[in-house]
Amino acid sequence: MAVSKRIVLHFPKRMVDRPIVCRLVKDYDLEFNILKASITPEKEGLMILELSGEQGEYDKGIRYLTKSGVEIQSLSQDVLRNEERCTHCGACITICPTGAFELDPITRWVNFHDEKCLACGLCIKACPPRAMEVHF
């Protein structure tokens, strides 16, 4: 059976330069599509992949990633903004690796574009009034 899933990979600092993802192709015959990649303030790698292949190989690929020290998170969680708590300060703007927050230059309201959000979770604790919430 073929599967195709979207997952978030967190690479620890020491692994950022290693060609981990390429081995998924060579060893497990999986196909991947990088939807987004960036480096967090902690210098950890962050990558959103669409990964597809045969279920058995897919599972082995995931096991390989986990064993190598990559943390895997499925994209099923949702990050939402509690509009009542958000003060529109703007502290999140330089935190978000994908630019999901955008400042309106005239009103200075902070707009949250949730379609750009990859649920990396960085803004959750960096938002001073804790207006960003993870929902599962």
Partner 1 sequence: MAKTIAEINEKIKQGKAVVVTAEEIIGIAKEKGIKKAAQEVDVVTTGTFGPMCSSGAYLNIGHSKPRIKLGGGRAYLNDVPAYTGLAAADIFIGSNALPDDDPRNKIHPGEFNYGGGHVIEELVAGKDIRLVATAYGTDCYPRKRLETWINIKDLNEVVLFNIRNAYQNYNVAANTSDRTIYTYMGVLRADLGNINFCSAGQLSPLLNDPYYKTIGIGTKIFLGGGIGFVAWHGTQHNPNVPRTENGVPTRGAGALCVIGDLKQMSPKWLVGTSMLGYGCTITVGIGVPIPILSEEILRYTTVTDAEIFSAIVDYSDAYPNLKPDILGEVSYAQLKSGKVTLQGREVPTASLSSYPRAVEIANTLKEWILSGKLLLTEPVAPLPGVESGITFKPLNERPIEE
State which of residues 5, 75, 91, 102 lies at the interface with ligand SF4 (CB under 6 A). 91
Which listed option, partner 1, ligand SF4, none, makes contact with residue 121 (CB within 5 to 8 Å by class)?
ligand SF4
23-62 residues in contact with partner 1 (CB under 8 A) are 41-43
Q: Name the region of 29 (left: φ>0; alpha: ψ -120 to 50; beta: rest).
A: left
The residue within the footprint of partner 1, chosen from 75, 93, 98, 121 (CB under 8 A), is: 93
User: C-alpha angle 68/12/99, rounded to 5°?
Assistant: 130
Q: What tokens were used for 113? A: 């574009």
Question: One symbol per residue from 43 to 62: x for binding ligand SF4 (CB under 6 A), - otherwise; what is it?
Answer: --------------------
Residue span binding ligand SF4 (CB under 6 A) among the ranges 16-24, 25-33, 64-72, 113-121? 113-121
User: Which of 66, 87, 94, 111 forms a contact with ligand SF4 (CB under 6 A)?
Assistant: 87
Residue 63 binding ligand SF4, by CB under 6 A: no
Does residue number 128 form part of the binding site for partner 1 (CB under 8 A)? yes
What is d(CA 30, CA 51) in angstroms, rounded to the nearest whole number?
A: 7
